[in-house]
Amino acid sequence: MDRSALNETLDRANELIHRLEDPAPGPLPVPEGKLYTGVDLGTAYLTVVVLDKDHEVLAGEYTFAEVARDGLVVDYIGAVDLVREMKARLETRLGRELTQAASGYPPGVPPAEVRATANVVEAGGFVCTNLVDEPTAANSLVCLENGVIVDVGGGTTGIAVVEGGKVVYSADEATGGTHFSLVIAGARDIPYAEAERLKLDPLAQPGLFPTVRPVMEKISSIVSRHIDGRDTPEIVLVGGTSKFHRTAEVVEDFTGISAWVPAHPEWVTPIGMAMNCKP
């Protein structure tokens, strides 16, 4: 998928999600056929996305939730409750039962902890049909032929090296959006929740850039270390944190490799998880 096609897909998804935030959204036209659901238990946000049989986005929800940390479920009951609630709301909007879902995990998470993610999805009312590492899920939508997918999550940064359209190497290290918020909170002497709000405000981001640049450089150094010696023509940054002011610029300057961020990068990995939902 080229950049323009990817951005068009994400624009449509984001427009739909925002329409659903209206207190009384209109009914959703749902085509016949199988529905594919992705459940992303992120460090900062829990996201559920539903696709139709052609992998077009039908509906989605996201909510701030500290139920997982670096791919590990830390609040099982809270996560299950949120998944159930989001599933019920989406079913009401779609007029269809959602029965199956895929989820994901950062590369390198122990198998027992990956299973805990599946348990949350199933306790939330789905049959969990697949679990896929997050950068691989992202590339299901991005369709990068050669290069690197960098998924900047809440607590970790995942890296997937893609050659010939296939992920040939993946890794994950601590440092992500949570660390942006922590350094903002420390520098401004404000509560973490306020720092999180500031971080998400596009108007505040230019002024915060000098504060968070060291974290961006840490992310860049992680990427550089894992792609050292590889022929890497481009870097695609996904995950909500990647759209922070000048993130791609810092990664490109640090690595010397062309880096870009698609429109609405926060939706890339959850949509990719839904695309990996098996029949």
Q: What is the pLDDT of residue 198?
A: 95
Dihedral angle of Cα 45, 46, 52, 58, to the nearest 10 degrees: -60
**Measured CA distances, 149 to 95, 110, 174, 213, 242 (Å):** 35, 22, 16, 20, 12
Same domain? 121 vs 158: no
Both tokens of residue 258? 């062309």
What is the rounded average pLDDT of the residues 152-165?
89
Does pLDDT of 271 surpass 90?
A: yes
Same domain? 177 vs 219: yes
Domain extent, residue 213, equals: 139-265
Does pLDDT of 5 surpass 80?
A: no
What is the rounded average pLDDT of the residues 68-78?
83
Same domain? 115 vs 205: no
Same domain? 8 vs 128: yes
**Measured CA distances, 23 to 19, 26, 264 (Å):** 9, 10, 22
Q: What is the pLDDT of residue 16?
A: 63
What is the rounded average pLDDT of the residues 71-94?
91
174: CB partners within 8 A, 6+ apart? 70, 155, 156
Same domain? 184 vs 216: yes
What is the domain-level CATH number for residue 20? Answer: 3.30.420.40
Same domain? 154 vs 235: yes
Residue 228: what are its φ and ψ, rounded to 5°? -55, 130
193: CB partners within 8 A, 6+ apart? none
Same domain? 175 vs 261: yes
Same domain? 128 vs 77: yes
Residue bearing tokens 């108007």: 203
Q: What is the pLDDT of residue 272?
A: 94
Same domain? 191 vs 84: no
Does pLDDT of 188 surpass 70?
A: yes
Dihedral angle of Cα 59, 172, 100, 120, to the nearest 10 degrees: -100
What is the rounded average pLDDT of the residues 144-171?
90
Same domain? 183 vs 252: yes
Does pLDDT of 143 surpass 60?
A: yes
3-state SS record for 124-139: CCCEEEEEEEHHHHHH
Count Cβ atoms below 10 Å from residue 75 Cβ, excluding itself.
Answer: 15
Q: What angle do CA 224, 239, 158 make, to 5 degrees?
A: 40
Same domain? 120 vs 241: no
How many domains does the chain fold into? 2
Q: What angle do CA 137, 61, 195 make, to 5 degrees?
A: 90
Same domain? 119 vs 196: no
